């Protein structure tokens, strides 16, 4: 990476949910703040800003990452996916999201964005997840409302649906 | 912001002259973005003069304890005794007296979304408009308006339709809403503030920590004839409104689920140097039931009875409802014995017992715990006045009730909107209200629009409004049902006049209004619903309009406290019976929950999935309270748990699935028969799990959170004597108090220079500047007094500090004592160390040192785990630099520094 001056803003360009975006960022600007305040993509939530709660999880080149522990300038040239990119359209839900809704896998919904992003990546890697594997993945997130069980149930059901009918409106990776 | 108590304590939203707790606001910076604001914060230098402090509630009662508020005269700000029935006689006649003492810890709801405020001020109107994720109770609106020195109609408080969890905690945004309002006035521009996690954990809202001694008079069969409570409630540094409500919320329920007619209570409220307390899910219930249900288990152990038999022998009987408790609560409905019977049936208890017996036979530590709890909901706004004497209450005027409001509107195309004075933080208001109102009108829930935001400038509300005290299902949804029913009855009158039948014959179903028994006479719902807009002249006699109906509902059972301090502190009383089987790993101190069964009677269940969601969520929070969560403070007032790496919340790997059971005894006091259900497991689960652990380990006293260290201490035999090798260590290193967070260490380094050369370096400002890690120059104030600026990093916190170093007890060139202090925006520290220089072989000096240091402020709150390592690293860097500096030309120096710069 080229040397960046702390005192100046730098143009950072990347792909956000399939669309090219760019913004001016000081090197210290967090990716979470760049998304929310710079680009108005407020689906990514900020719960702790020290990497524990997982609410701000995004995918960078398909890999889950904490936006609060990532600098905006690190997104340069990357493919970034956030919760806004999971559904096939603004008014449609992905299979996983629809299953969350059916199972009441969210109450306040604040942690949900990050959990969906993590699970979306995991289900692509492991289409046959066990409950234990899912508990470990969701263990990277804090949810204060649900007690987690409905989240695990929703994901098991979504995984089964995705396996049985690959043509379902899964969140196609971009 | 003090409202409940008559005490001479001022509480401003930010510190005035004196800071009383870590996290108390001392400055507000307004900038164009948060990064700039934080830069400015770092530039603020505050010179604190340390005062003595007290963090323990019992210590705060001592006559020589530092007093937080001089005008109040003492830290004890309320001391009330209550007596119901004849407790003295019952204790005198009792076969046994059983007692438990507990110290319930501080914890909090920790919603994933923190506080957020956007405030504007209109100078020409002298009016504030504040958007905040406040949850109520709206009695606090009056407190906020008074703080801002405006009448209530000049504080327009708006709440967003969605909020990322609250669990009571977002009541605590109120003082910040006031501060940001003032900031907007001063700045002449709208001001936005989003709380960060450190601010939240250190200073948002904590549940009270409480020290309780509870005694029971017991017959030899295990029947309790009297209870004697002594509660010392710690409200932190200020008794901020609505405190001391946590202490009095349960006042009618101090006998729990049991039929006990004799009751003595002493309630004390004390102040300590900790963050102010407030609403947290369970609100007073966890503190009460931890004592009460631990007592039930101790009665069983001490009288050698079956714990479940003791619970059963004392439960209020099924035919006794509505039941008036000794302290005045009016339990609406229930069948506690049946709930217990159903919970243990179908082999549930038998399988727990079998698993326990098998585990124990294999030498493992397995225990079973029970807890029975009455879950109050829909608070009586008057319960808090029980803290005053009857005479004081008379002077202040009666306070009582729990006004709920809901509005149902029909627009010109006949579609239905619902609005209530309660904003959701994840409880599913929209889903439940749409269902309740749709059922009234015979529409599908999808046809109903629920508007979930709230605006005190436009919407109907009252002091009891808000989303707290589990009042949504019982009070708010019921009031929406009332409003919808009133509109439906008017629509029936309109339809009857149009269809030429009597209103009693009108039915509502499938989006139509029709004459029952004559489906030919049918009108579309929308047409009748819109009539009041388009042709008011056609409204039949007795129907004024059908555009909007606002219902206000105030249950008559919520009376003010009586002369003799009896109070129906809540309207509804659900019942919970929990049982758990746990296994304790004696090697790791870890507790595994094998089975957990929770039986609920929350009256009529409005939405089964929502109810179970509340139960699971409450259970998970209670699991945190049981094993992980504590807002911890050091003796010097330093706050120690400012990150989610220090304040641990349960994750999915720690949270087991549970078995949920229900029976339904509908409340006769609420419109829909529903009762609250959201807080119960926060009350029942911690003590149920503690009882199971106590059963597994055979211990009498245990306090939460049951961390592996605590469990290990419960299991451990007495501490063995120190190994001989350590006995000659300095006394201060050997006498570590539990909970003491002082950093201590000792070490040795070898430097290739003479003691004299090193000595002169240590007294030379320029040399020191090049040796001290992160140093920005040293100023020499006298031969033995230096001032410097240093940049130090501890884990995630890197910051600039001002440091002062003094040398004393000089014994040149052999020994010196260094004492010093550092302070900066990120925290403060102080300590001292003794450095000794001794000539070694080959021109090498052996430097040995011991040190003790204490650290406070932000660094302690978020870097506590890392301080020991950081101190050692910094000292190591210091001596490595000293070695390089003392013998720069020698290649051996680096080698020596690496080889001998060791630490212990």
- Test B113 with A110 for CB contact under 8 angstroms: yes
Q: Which of B311-320, B329-338, B841-850 has the lowest mean pLDDT?
A: B841-850
- Interface predicted TM-score (ipTM): 0.96
Pairing of strands B506-509, B454-455: unpaired
Of A104, A135, A143, which has the smallest distance from its Cβ to B653's Cβ?
A135
According to the model, what pLDDT value does residue B740 have? 62
- Test A110 with B111 for CB contact under 8 angstroms: yes
Of B645, B649, B796, which has the smallest distance from its Cβ to A144's Cβ?
B649
Distance CA(A138)–CA(A148), nearest Å, equals: 8
Most A CBs within 10 Å, among B192, B642, B651, to test the A interface: B651
According to the model, what pLDDT value does residue A38 have? 97
In this structure, what token pair is assigned to residue B825? 């925006």
Of B112, B613, B796, which has the smallest distance from its Cβ to A50's Cβ?
B796
SS3 sequence, B50-118?
CCCCCCCCCHHHCCCCCCCCHHHCCCEEEEEEEEECCHHHHHHHCCEEEEEEEEECCCCCCCCCCCEEE
Of A52, A107, A134, which has the smallest distance from its Cβ to B617's Cβ?
A107
pLDDT at B898 exceeding the cut of 50: no
Same domain, A76 and A125: no
Same domain, A99 and A125: yes
A125: domain CATH number is 1.10.150.120
Same domain, A13 and A72: yes
Distance CA(B855)–CA(B858), nearest Å, equals: 9
The answer to the question of residue A87 being in a domain is no
Q: Which of the pair, B895 or B129, is modelled with greater confidence?
A: B129
Q: What is the DSSP string of B524-543?
A: EHHHHHHHHHH-GGGPPTT-
Most B CBs within 10 Å, among A9, A46, A68, A108, to test the B interface: A108
β-strand partners of A64: A59
Same domain, A99 and A150: yes
- 3-state SS class at A59: strand
Domain containing A73 equals 6-82
- 3-state SS class at B755: helix
- Test A145 with B619 for CB contact under 8 angstroms: no
- Test A45 with B426 for CB contact under 8 angstroms: no
- Test A50 with B35 for CB contact under 8 angstroms: no
According to the model, what pLDDT value does residue B734 have? 42
Residue A82 near residue A44, CB atoms below 8 Å:
yes
pLDDT at B533 exceeding the cut of 50: yes
In this prediction, residue B822 has a pLDDT band, given cuts at 50, 70 and 90, of confident
pLDDT at A1 exceeding the cut of 60: no
> Taking Cα atoms as reference points, which of B393, B361, B477, B465 lies closest to residue B428?
B477
Integer-rounded Cα radius of gyration of chain B? 32
Comparing alpha-carbon positions, the chain B residue that sits nearest to A105 is B613
Give chain A positions within 8 Å (CB) of B651: 138-142, 148
According to the model, what pLDDT value does residue B904 have? 40
DSSP class of residue B717?
P
Q: Which of the pair, B398 or A11, is modelled with greater confidence?
A: A11
In the sheet with B548-553, reading across from the earlier edge strand, the strands are B448-451, B416-420, B404-410, B548-553
Q: What is the DSSP string of B374-423?
A: EEEEEE-TTGGGGGS-HHHHHHH-------EEEEEEE-TT--EEEEES--
- Helix or strand run (H / E) with residue B747: strand B743-751
The answer to the question of residue A72 being in a domain is yes
* Last residue in a domain, options A28, A58, A82: A82
- Test A148 with B655 for CB contact under 8 angstroms: yes
Same domain, A20 and A43: yes
The answer to the question of residue A58 being in a domain is yes
In this prediction, residue B146 has a pLDDT band, given cuts at 50, 70 and 90, of very high
> Taking Cα atoms as reference points, which of A125, A136, A128 lies closest to residue A173?
A125
Residue B407 near residue B419, CB atoms below 8 Å:
yes
- Test B652 with A148 for CB contact under 8 angstroms: yes
Same domain, A49 and A100: no
Rounded to the nearest angstrom, the minimum Cα separation between A103 and chain B is 8
Same domain, A69 and A103: no
User: How buried is residue B498: exposed, middle or buried, by Cβ count under 10 Å (0-12/13-18/19+)?
Assistant: middle
The CA dihedral of B698, B701, B705, B711, to the nearest 10 degrees, is -40
Most A CBs within 10 Å, among B38, B112, B467, to test the A interface: B112
SS3 sequence, B831-867?
EEEEEEEEECHHHCEEEEEEEEEEEECHHHHHHHHHH
Most B CBs within 10 Å, among A66, A147, A149, A151, to test the B interface: A147
B694 torsion bin: left (phi>0), alpha (psi -120 to 50), beta (else) = alpha
Hey, how many other C-beta atoms are within 10 angstroms of the C-beta on A8? 9
Give chain A positions within 8 Å (CB) of B658: 147, 149
Give chain B positions within 8 Å (CB) of A104: 428, 609-610, 613
* Last residue in a domain, options A41, A57, A82: A82
Distance CA(B250)–CA(B234), nearest Å, equals: 16
Mean pLDDT of chain A: 95
How many C-alpha atoms does B470 have within 13 Å on its Cβ side? Answer: 30
Q: Kindly list the residues of chain B whose beta carbon comes within 8 Å of any beta carbon in chain A.
A: 33-35, 109-114, 162-165, 167, 196-197, 425-428, 609-610, 613, 616-617, 619-621, 643-645, 649, 651-653, 655, 657-658, 796, 862
- Test B111 with A55 for CB contact under 8 angstroms: no
Residues contacting B870, CB < 8 A, separation 6+? B792, B793, B794, B795, B863
The answer to the question of residue A66 being in a domain is yes
β-strand partners of B226: B217, B262
DSSP class of residue B296?
H
Same domain, A10 and A73: yes
Distance CA(B498)–CA(B673), nearest Å, equals: 34
* Overall domain count for chain A: 2
Same domain, A11 and A47: yes
The answer to the question of residue A1 being in a domain is no
- Test B113 with A45 for CB contact under 8 angstroms: yes
In this prediction, residue B900 has a pLDDT band, given cuts at 50, 70 and 90, of very low
Q: What is the pLDDT of residues B260-310, one digit of tens each?
A: 999 999 999 999 999 999 999 999 999 999 999 999 999 999 999 999 999
Distance between first and last Cα of chain A: 24
Same domain, A101 and A59: no
Q: What is the pLDDT of residues B374-433, one digit of tens each?
A: 999 999 999 999 999 999 999 999 899 999 999 999 999 999 999 999 999 999 999 999
Of A26, A145, A147, which has the smallest distance from its Cβ to B165's Cβ?
A145
In this prediction, residue B366 has a pLDDT band, given cuts at 50, 70 and 90, of very high
Same domain, A66 and A20: yes
- Test A144 with B112 for CB contact under 8 angstroms: yes
Mean pLDDT of chain B: 93
Q: Kindly list the residues of chain A whose beta carbon comes within 8 Å of any beta carbon in chain B.
A: 26, 28-29, 33, 37, 45, 47-50, 52-53, 55, 104, 106-111, 134-136, 138-152
Q: What is the pLDDT of residues B171-183, one digit of tens each?
A: 999 999 999 999 9
- Test B113 with A108 for CB contact under 8 angstroms: yes
Q: What is the pLDDT of residues A21-46, one digit of tens each?
A: 999 999 999 999 999 999 999 999 99
* Last residue in a domain, options A82, A104, A125: A82
pTM > 0.90: yes or no: yes
A47: domain CATH number is 3.10.20.30
Residue A140 near residue A54, CB atoms below 8 Å:
yes
The answer to the question of residue A49 being in a domain is yes
Same domain, A72 and A11: yes
pLDDT at A172 exceeding the cut of 70: no
The answer to the question of residue A173 being in a domain is no
Q: What is the average per-residue pLDDT within B465-481?
A: 94
The answer to the question of residue A172 being in a domain is no
- 3-state SS class at B196: coil
Output the CA–CA distances (angstroms, integers) from residue B370 to B579, B598, B599, in the order listed: 4, 10, 11
Output the CA–CA distances (angstroms, integers) from residue B277 to B205, B241, B382, in the order listed: 5, 9, 20
């Amino acid at each position: 990476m080229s040397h960046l001056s702390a005192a100046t803003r730098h143009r950072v360009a990347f792909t956000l949910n399939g669309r090219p975006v760019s913004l001016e960022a000081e090197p210290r600007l967090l990716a979470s703040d760049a998304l929310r305040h710079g680009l108005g993509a407020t689906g990514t939530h900020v719960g702790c800003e020290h990497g524990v709660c997982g609410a701000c999880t995004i995918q960078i080149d398909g890999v889950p990452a904490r936006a609060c522990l990532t600098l905006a300038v690190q997104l340069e040239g990357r493919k970034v996916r956030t919760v806004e990119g999971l559904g096939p359209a603004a008014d449609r839900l992905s299979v996983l999201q629809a299953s969350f809704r059916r199972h009441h896998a969210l109450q306040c919904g604040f942690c949900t964005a990050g959990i969906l992003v993590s699970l979306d990546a995991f289900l692509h890697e492991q289409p046959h997840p066990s409950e234990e594997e899912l508990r470990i993945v969701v263990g990277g997130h804090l949810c204060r409302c649900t007690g987690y069980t409905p989240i695990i149930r929703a994901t098991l059901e979504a995984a089964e649906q995705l396996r049985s009918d690959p043509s379902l409106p899964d969140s196609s990776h971009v | 912001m003090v409202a409940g108590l008559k005490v001479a304590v001022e509480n401003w939203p930010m510190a005035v002259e004196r800071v009383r707790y870590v996290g108390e606001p001392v400055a507000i910076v307004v900038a164009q973005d948060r990064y700039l604001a934080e830069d400015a914060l770092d530039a603020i230098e505050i010179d604190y003069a340390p005062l003595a402090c007290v963090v323990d509630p019992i210590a705060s009662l001592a006559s020589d304890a530092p007093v937080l508020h001089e005008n109040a005269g003492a830290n004890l700000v309320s001391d009330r005794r209550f007596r119901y029935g004849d407790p003295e006689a019952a204790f005198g006649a009792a076969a046994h007296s059983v007692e438990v003492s507990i110290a319930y810890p501080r914890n909090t709801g920790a919603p994933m979304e923190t506080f957020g405020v956007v405030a504007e001020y209109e100078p020409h109107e002298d009016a504030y408009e504040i958007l905040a994720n406040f949850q109520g109770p709206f009695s606090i609106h009056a407190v906020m308006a008074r703080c801002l020195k405006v009448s209530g109609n000049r504080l327009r408080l708006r709440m967003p339709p969605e909020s990322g969890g609250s669990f009571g905690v977002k009541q605590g945004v109120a003082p910040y809403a006031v501060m940001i309002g003032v900031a907007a006035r001063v700045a002449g521009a709208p001001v936005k503030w989003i709380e960060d996690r450190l601010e939240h954990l250190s200073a948002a809202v904590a549940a009270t920590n409480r020290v309780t001694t509870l005694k029971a008079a017991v017959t030899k069969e295990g029947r309790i004839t009297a209870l004697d409570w002594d509660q010392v409630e710690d409200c932190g540094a200020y008794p901020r409104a609505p405190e001391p409500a946590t202490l009095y919320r349960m006042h009618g329920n101090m006998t729990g689920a049991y039929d006990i007619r004799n009751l003595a209570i002493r309630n004390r409220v004390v102040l300590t140097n900790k963050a102010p307390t407030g609403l947290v899910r369970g609100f007073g219930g966890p503190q009460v039931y931890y004592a009460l249900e631990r007592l039930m288990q101790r009665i069983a152990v001490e009288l050698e009875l079956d714990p479940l038999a003791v619970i059963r022998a004392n439960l209020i009987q099924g035919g006794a409802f509505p039941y008036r408790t000794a302290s005045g609560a009016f339990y609406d409905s229930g069948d506690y014995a049946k709930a217990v019977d159903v919970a243990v049936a179908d082999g549930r208890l038998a399988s727990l017992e079998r698993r326990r017996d098998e585990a124990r036979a294999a030498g493992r530590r397995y225990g079973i715990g029970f807890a029975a709890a009455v879950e109050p909901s829909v608070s009586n706004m008057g319960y808090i006045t029980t803290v005053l004497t009857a005479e004081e209450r008379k002077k202040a005027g009666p306070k009582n009730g729990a006004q709920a409001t809901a509005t149902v509107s029909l627009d010109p195309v006949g579609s239905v909107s619902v609005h209530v004075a309660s904003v959701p933080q994840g409880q599913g208001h929209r889903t439940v209200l749409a269902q309740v109102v749709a059922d009234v009108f015979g529409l599908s829930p999808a046809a109903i629009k629920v508007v979930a935001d709230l605006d005190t400038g436009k919407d109907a509300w009252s002091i009891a409004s808000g989303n707290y005290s589990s009042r949504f299902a019982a009070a708010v949804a019921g009031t929406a049902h009332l409003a919808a029913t009133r509109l439906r009855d008017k629509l029936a009158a309109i339809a009857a006049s149009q269809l030429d039948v009597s209103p009693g014959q009108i039915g509502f179903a499938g989006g139509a209004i029709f004459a029952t028994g004559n489906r030919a006479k049918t009108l579309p719902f929308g047409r009748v619903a819109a009539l009041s807009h388009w042709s008011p002249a056609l409204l039949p006699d007795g129907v004024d309009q059908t555009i909007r109906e606002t219902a206000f509902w105030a249950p008559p059972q919520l009376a003010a406290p009586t002369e003799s301090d009896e109070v129906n502190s809540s309207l509804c009383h659900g019942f919970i019976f929990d049982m758990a089987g746990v296994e304790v790993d004696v090697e790791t101190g870890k507790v595994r929950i094998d089975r957990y069964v929770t039986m609920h009677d929350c009256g009529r269940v409005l939405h089964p999935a929502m109810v179970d969601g509340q139960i699971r969520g409450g259970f998970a929070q209670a699991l945190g309270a049981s094993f992980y969560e504590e807002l911890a403070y050091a003796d010097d007032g330093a706050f120690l748990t400012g990150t989610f790496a220090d304040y641990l919340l349960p994750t999915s790997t720690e949270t087991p699935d549970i078995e949920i059971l229900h029976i339904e005894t509908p409340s006769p006091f609420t419109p829909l028969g529903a009762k609250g259900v959201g807080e119960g497991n926060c009350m029942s689960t911690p003590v149920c799990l503690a009882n199971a652990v106590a059963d597994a380990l055979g211990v009498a006293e245990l306090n939460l959170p049951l961390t592996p260290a605590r469990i290990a201490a419960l299991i451990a035999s007495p501490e063995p004597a120190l190994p001989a090798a350590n006995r000659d260590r300095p006394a201060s290193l050997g006498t570590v108090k539990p909970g003491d967070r002082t950093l201590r260490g000792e070490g040795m380094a070898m430097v290739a220079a003479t003691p004299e050369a090193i000595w002169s370096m240590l007294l030379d400002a320029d040399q020191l500047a090049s040796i001290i890690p992160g140093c920005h120059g040293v100023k020499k104030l006298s031969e033995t007094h230096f001032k410097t600026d240093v940049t130090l990093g501890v884990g995630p916190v890197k910051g600039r500090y001002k440091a002062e170093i003094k040398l004393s007890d000089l014994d040149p060139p052999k020994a010196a004592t260094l004492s010093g202090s550092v302070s900066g925006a990120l925290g403060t520290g102080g300590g001292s160390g003794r450095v000794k220089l001794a000539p070694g072989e080959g021109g090498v000096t052996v430097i040995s040192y011991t040190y003790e240091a204490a650290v406070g402020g932000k660094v302690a709150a978020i870097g506590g785990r890392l301080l020991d390592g950081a101190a050692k690293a910094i000292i190591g860097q210091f001596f490595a630099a000293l070695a390089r500096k003392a013998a720069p030309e020698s290649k051996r120096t680096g080698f020596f520094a690496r080889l001998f710069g060791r630490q212990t």
